[in-house]
Structure 1
Amino acid sequence: MTQRELLSVRLCDLKVSIEGTWLEERIARVRDELGQRDLRFNPHFWLSDEWFSPTGVPGVALPFYLAHPKLTRLERSQMLEAEGATADACLRLLRHELGHAIQHAFKLERRREWQRLFGKASTPYPEAYRPNPASRRYVHNLPAWYAQSHPEEDFAETFAVWLRPRYNWRRHYQGWPALRKLKYVDRLMAELAGQPPRVRSRAKPFPLSRERMTLGTYYERKRAHYSVGFTDAYDRDLKRLFSEAEGPRDRRETAATFLRRHRREIRGMVAKWTGEYQLTLNQVLEQMMGRCKELRLVADGPERKLVLDFAIMLTVHGMNYLYRGREWHVM
């Protein structure tokens, strides 16, 4: 089946499952990690349209596109990447989602010390956040300094770092304020060791079997969700980096052409730095190239310096959208 044909298939008709795929091995591995800590809550896993752990459910949903190589390739072709498609990325996400699941299983957000260290779970999720990459108050597990987006994400990220086997978090985070959170999680999990969970729901919200939209519609909506818009607010920064053309006969390369020539390198560079969705970055680049054309800007200066300076500028402005991508489902 071609990708075009696949886009006309409904999600509920994909006939994929976790069983028999590489996901089984990853899930077994994190279950073993829980068992080694004597954490006996039994999280369940199912396929849906994204990564998430629903409020009140001690389980984890995984995205359908990880259940078959052809679907993973389709995800990459439609979204420019497939989140969790490598072994390491999958394990990081699973540990993060298990942090949410164990929070739901034991209602940890109700504890006073949990609230004192992480904040209140009832805090509204922001539409965007501006993380401080230099902050040492938060651990690093997922890209984009995701622990800074919300108290529940802070806990899930801290749990993920704590759960990681053969990782000396005490040494790595020595001197960081984040170490207090890790030590709290360590004490808390020791307290919960061997205990049955308070919440045992086996619900599977938004299962793939009930999603009747086609893959084509799904990706249209997903791309729209990740879309961004730019105004002339970035003109000043573009004019600082590039020069204005000196009349219609200016022979220098236009800034729009320069960015088009280096777009893949720039996009990959910024995505690596920030963890930002490449689709969002691609749309930002499109908007900026359009403004460069309208402003008649030209690339004047050392090529490598222009590439790096623009990548830094894109990183700074792209931070406004770091959270929006991961709000496709509340995690």
Structure 2
Amino acid sequence: MHDETIKVKSGLLKPRKRKPVWVSWPDDKLLDVRMCDLGVSIDGTPLERRISEVRKELSGRGIDFGPHFWLSDDWFTPDGVPGVGIPFYLAHPRLAKLEMNQMLEVEGSTKTWCLQILRHEVGHAIDNAFRLQRRHRRQKLFGKSSDNYPEYYTPRPYSKSFVLHLDSWYAQSHPDEDFAETFAVWLDPKADWQKRYADWPALKKLDYMHDLMHDIRRRQPVETTTRTVEPLSSIKKTLRQHYETKRAHYGIDRPDFYDRDLRRLFSDAAEFSNNQPAAKFLKRIRRDVR
């Protein structure tokens, strides 16, 4: 079967991408496909347009730096690499549906969410490209990159020493994440960070980021490798193996983990029927528990 063609505005013919054979398969069959055999790419997807938008934000700030992107099994920026790995499921709606069925969420599925994560990861990439971790002022404000990543961290929700960008007060998890989150807020054209953080100690970090990015506009990246780490085409495990590992890591197979405590807090006994329902209570305090 040959690729179909469609007419575009220019009047030229453009190949239409052939649908993968697994698009109509049920989850159980799709899970047995090796990740390297999925045959998806960033080209021609909403993901490509979102990457382009972030590139325009960089150029709009006068930063002549173009990180490279590739599909992998998760979001990440490898140490020393000025590029970003992006989860494969964002390259096709059928894979996004599978991710939802397996993990109960699709990280980066909406345009806003995807742009937030892209800006964050580009912060890591630009950190690597210019080796900014070595700068004394950067270490003084954010901490050292050599600090160990904790398996768990306990954020301080009301701290004003960190910007608020990704969920779970992620800037508080490690100095490198603090840097990437601060960069993401600085890069976002809608952030209005001077006003938003006017009375916060975090403003010092944003002001530093502004000066730092102005400085590197006149410099060429030190690290220019286009190396990729664990590209999708190299991952031989099946989707089933991938999700078994991922679900175990995040405890997805233990949905009753907090049920006992929640039932103590929100009893369904008749004597408490006039109490505020859990859903209404959570809606009322959602800003505090964000």
The amino acid that maps onto 1:305 is: Q
Instruction: Measure, in 2, the Cα distance between the counterparts of 1:288 and 1:205.
Output: 36
Structure 2 residue aligned with 1:78: 102
How many residues are treated as equivalent by the alignment?
A: 259
Q: 1:41 Cα shift?
A: 1.8
Superposed, 1:142-161 pairs within 5 Å as: 142-161=166-185
For 2:228, which of 204, 226, 229 is the aligned residue? 204
For 1:99, which of 88, 108, 123 is the aligned residue? 123
Structure 2 residue aligned with 1:195: 219
Q: 1:310 Cα shift?
A: 8.5
Distance change in 2, residues 1:2/1:196 (3 Å): same
Structure 1 residue aligned with 2:152: 128
Instruction: Measure, in 1, the Cα distance between the counterparts of 2:139 and 2:240.
Output: 42
**For structure 1, which runs of at least 5 residues remain unmatched after alignment?**
228-278, 323-331
User: Given that residues 118 and 154 in structure 1 are in contact (C-alpha distance below 8 angstroms), is that contact kept between their aligned partners in structure 2?
Assistant: yes
Q: 1:288 Cα shift?
A: 3.5
Structure 2 residue aligned with 1:271: none
Correspondence 1:220 to 2:244: yes
The amino acid that maps onto 1:39 is: I
User: Given that residues 58 and 105 in structure 1 are in contact (C-alpha distance below 8 angstroms), is that contact kept between their aligned partners in structure 2?
Assistant: yes
Correspondence 1:43 to 2:13: no
In structure 2, the residue corresponding to 1:62 is in which secondary structure? strand
Q: 1:305 Cα shift?
A: 2.6
Distance change in 2, residues 1:201/1:292 (3 Å): closer
| CA RMSD between the two structures | 2.4
Distance change in 2, residues 1:49/1:306 (3 Å): same
Q: 1:216 Cα shift?
A: 0.8
Instruction: Measure, in 1, the Cα distance between the counterparts of 2:88 and 2:268.
Output: 44
In structure 1, the residue corresponding to 2:71 is in which secondary structure? strand
Q: 1:191 Cα shift?
A: 0.3
Correspondence 1:52 to 2:76: yes
The amino acid that maps onto 1:139 is: V
In structure 1, the residue corresponding to 2:158 is in which secondary structure? coil
Deviation digits for residues 21-68 of structure 1 (CA, Å, limit 9, x no counterpart): 111100100001111111112200000000000000000010000000
In structure 1, the residue corresponding to 2:84 is in which secondary structure? strand
The amino acid that maps onto 1:49 is: D
**For structure 2, which runs of at least 5 residues remain unmatched after alignment?**
1-24
User: Given that residues 38 and 194 in structure 1 are in contact (C-alpha distance below 8 angstroms), is that contact kept between their aligned partners in structure 2?
Assistant: no
For 2:89, which of 57, 65, 73 is the aligned residue? 65
TM-score (norm 2): 0.84
For 2:137, which of 113, 121, 132 is the aligned residue? 113
Superposed, 1:164-179 pairs within 5 Å as: 164-179=188-203
For 2:259, which of 283, 286, 289 is the aligned residue? 289
Correspondence 1:305 to 2:276: yes
> How much identity, in percent, do the aligned residues show?
50
The amino acid that maps onto 1:204 is: T
User: Given that residues 39 and 195 in structure 1 are in contact (C-alpha distance below 8 angstroms), is that contact kept between their aligned partners in structure 2?
Assistant: no
The amino acid that maps onto 1:226 is: Y
Structure 1 residue aligned with 2:15: none
Q: 1:174 Cα shift?
A: 0.6
The amino acid that maps onto 1:105 is: A
Q: 1:304 Cα shift?
A: 5.3
Deviation digits for residues 5-36 of structure 1 (CA, Å, limit 9, x no counterpart): 11010000000000111111001000011111
User: Given that residues 147 and 153 in structure 1 are in contact (C-alpha distance below 8 angstroms), is that contact kept between their aligned partners in structure 2?
Assistant: yes
In structure 1, the residue corresponding to 2:109 is in which secondary structure? coil
Distance change in 2, residues 1:16/1:195 (3 Å): same
Name the structure with the higher helix share.
Answer: 1
In structure 1, the residue corresponding to 2:161 is in which secondary structure? coil
For 1:186, which of 207, 210, 213 is the aligned residue? 210
TM-score (norm 1): 0.74
Q: 1:113 Cα shift?
A: 0.4
Correspondence 1:5 to 2:29: yes
Instruction: Measure, in 1, the Cα distance between the counterparts of 2:167 and 2:262.
Output: 30
In structure 1, the residue corresponding to 2:256 is in which secondary structure? helix
